Chain A
Amino acid sequence: MINDKLFGIAMILYLVATLFYVAYVVSRNRKVGLGGTLVALAGWLVNTAAIVVRWIESHQAGYGYIPLSNMYESMVFFSWSIMMIYLVFERLYGYRAVGAFVAPLGFLGIAVVSFNPRISSDIQPLVPALQSNWLTAHVVTCFFGYAAFAVAFAVSIMYLFRRRTEARQGKDAPGLLPPTRVLDDLAYKAVAVGFPLLTLGILTGAIWANYAWGTYWSWDPKETWSLITWLVYAAYLHARFTAGWRGVRLAWLSIVGFACVIFTYWGVNFVLSGLHSYAG
């Protein structure tokens, strides 16, 4: 099958993009930064092709479904979404240093499922419960939300590093990373994109559950953890209006939020169990 080879190429391109971006952060050379963008974009295009090819191959295998249904497919889609949202951010706001922290996430997404012996890249038929258009809407909106939160997470990590520099040398200190007020603003913008998407993701999940199982909410671990994630980011959005909650605390809240995203996505399937265990 071709699709897993294409994903492998995308993964390598994301790794190369990381190297370019890190080189940019260190050297501040514009051309190197542009190189990072171009390699990341190339990786994203290959990633897109890989998803389309997998879709075609699923038709050839006799099943024919949009490839979003198991751990392998969702992780490579996650990488795709992270890089897409990052590239849009980079286009709008221009801070290539963020690429050094986000591109590794794109690389890791594909790497983890490619090298894990317990996760199969085979195209498997869908159980009847997963044959629904709501599945596509639910998975896509959730993952776009997760991807935006991944960007916010990367920016928050940068914030913590940058803050140490500023604590020693002042707020306008020259350095490898953008100033904290810029990073704080970027993180907020990323969460402001992710939150409505996650909201839509939870809603489409509830609507789908109502048509499939007769109940829109059953406090199943996956649903509950997605709500926990939503509550943490809701707290983040409101904390900006609270004195004493700016800066460092917000950065940590965004990091905790992303930990919740990872637990919702991975932890529930492998550590807990329930209706949602389509881990295979």
Chain B
Amino acid sequence: MKTQERPKGIGSRIYDFLASIKLSVVVLIVLAATSIFGTVIQQGKEFSVYVREYGETWARVIHALGLDDMYHSWWFELLLALLLVNITACSVKRLPHAVRLMRYSDPVFDGKPVAIHERCTFRVKGVSAEQAAARLEALFRSRMRRVFRAERDGAVYLLGTRGGWSRMGVYITHFSLFLFAVGAIVGARWGFKGFVQIPEGQKVSKVRLRSGGTKDLGFEVRCDDFEVVFYKTPQGLPTNRPKDYYSTLTVLENGREVLTKRIEVNDPLIYKGIYFYQSSYGQAGAESAWITVFGPRRNLVFHRKRVLRGQPVALEGEDRLVLRDLTADFRGMGPAIQVVLERPEQRPLSAIVFQVPEGNHRKLGPYVVRLDHVDTVMYTGLQVAKDPGVPLIWAGCVFITVGCLVAFFVSHRRVWARVRPDGRGGVEVFLGGNASRNRVAFERWFQDLCTEAQEAFEK
């Protein structure tokens, strides 16, 4: 009876399409190509920014195509979803065969569609098939993890296998992509990203969200102290390049101190799943300066006296010095103050005094003023983030690493043996081998095995 070929139904054709690796290649390339747009066109900015950059018409086109936030656009997410569907279909189609290969345990290869890449044959005199097979089995057991045996038509067949589990490497790798997808979705849905600036000594309970608006933390974070350490030149002089900066933060629940940590860049504070990262810092405002003043007879009027902004300080006689303004950085030239000398019956004299170079003495009327130190109040800039999807992402990282290593560097090796009596009191031995990876190394390993097998009978 002739078998008739039934035309494939539409469902079957769709399945074949979705389970084809050709689709994978196409989707991967389309994802790569479209991603380029998002690196050339600024992402997530206001419409006016695009108008300025590209003009009104193109700005409208960009917005309509979703290119102003393309990685979150519907079509990009559709492409990602298509890739995941494709991976699922490919896995469903190919996994059964991979599992069968992993579990392969049939020693008999004659008349079966088994791909044998390496082979060698030799004769052994004066042993029976049973004896020879026993020797070979011992050899196989020393080199392979599992050994199977069968007999057929007076011949003994052996199969040794090793590394069959490496066939799962590909599926582990692909599964990790699902973990990434779910982790990203969980993070987007239940997480937030924001930032906040806390001046030293103050506390906050709300943070500004990157997507706009504010979020109430449900507790308070206080900045106890901020410190920046600058690099020194090899001679020991300070530079203005920051080496490290630290904030000491305290978490308060209902006014009660719960947790204190000194954080620095790359080392955040974690509380209730919310991460506080040291991100930046700045000057919140300078409030006082330390000043030294010398009198007209080279006498010392006062030494390193702390003066507050706007506060007049008495000099000799009725003269007064007022600290008009102070800053930690005046036009890139470092800390500076503006002082005014008030003398009775005379016009006030004002001067700007710098701190560096060290020992900069500024003549002001009959006095000499030196700025020792400007005390600034700093603020600490923190990135604040909560992402409950992160554990899934880490799990994905582990899976993809293990999966890749297994898929690329572990080989499923199988060796077969067939021992047949040769009708002259000896046996004919055939050895065959197959490896899923790195055939060059396997070739050498197999040759070693053949040599060892022959030597086992020469003893």
Contact = CB atoms under 8 A, between A and B. Distances in A.
Whether chain B is bound by chain A comes out as yes
Contacts of B40: 272
A203 B243 contact: no
Given A131-B244, A225-B39, A231 B32 contact: yes
Describe A's contact surface by its main secondary structure.
helix
A125 B231 contact: yes
A238 B241 CA distance: 48
Contacts of B279: 213-214
Given A127-B242, A212-B266, A62 B234 contact: yes
Contact of A203 (B22, B38, B400): B400
A189 to B, nearest CB: 9
A241 interface: yes
A208 B390 CA distance: 13
A196 B405 CA distance: 7
A164 B387 CA distance: 54
Interface stretch (A79-87, A113-121, A216-224): A216-224
Contacts of B71: 219, 224
Given A196-B409, A216-B393, 10 more contacts: A62-B231, A129-B266, A195-B408, A199-B401, A207-B397, A213-B277, A231-B31, A245-B25, A260-B32, A268-B39
B8 to A, nearest CB: 18
What range describes how many residues of B lie at the interface?
Answer: 35 or more
Contact of B29 (A129, A131, A235): A235
A157 interface: no
Nearest to A243: B22
Nearest to B439: A185
Interface of B: 20-22, 24-25, 28-29, 31-32, 35-36, 38-40, 43, 71, 184, 193, 231-234, 241-245, 264-268, 275, 277, 279, 383-385, 387, 390, 393-394, 397, 400-401, 404-405, 408-409, 440
Contacts, number: 119
A236 to B, nearest CB: 9
A128 B394 CA distance: 25
A228 B35 contact: yes
B440 A93 contact: yes
Nearest to A193: B408
B405 A232 contact: no
Nearest to B400: A199
A203 B193 CA distance: 20
A108 interface: no
A15 to B, nearest CB: 31
B231 A200 contact: no
Residue from the set B20, B21, B234 with the largest chain A CB neighbour count within 10 Å: B21
Given A62-B232, A221-B39, A211 B25 contact: no
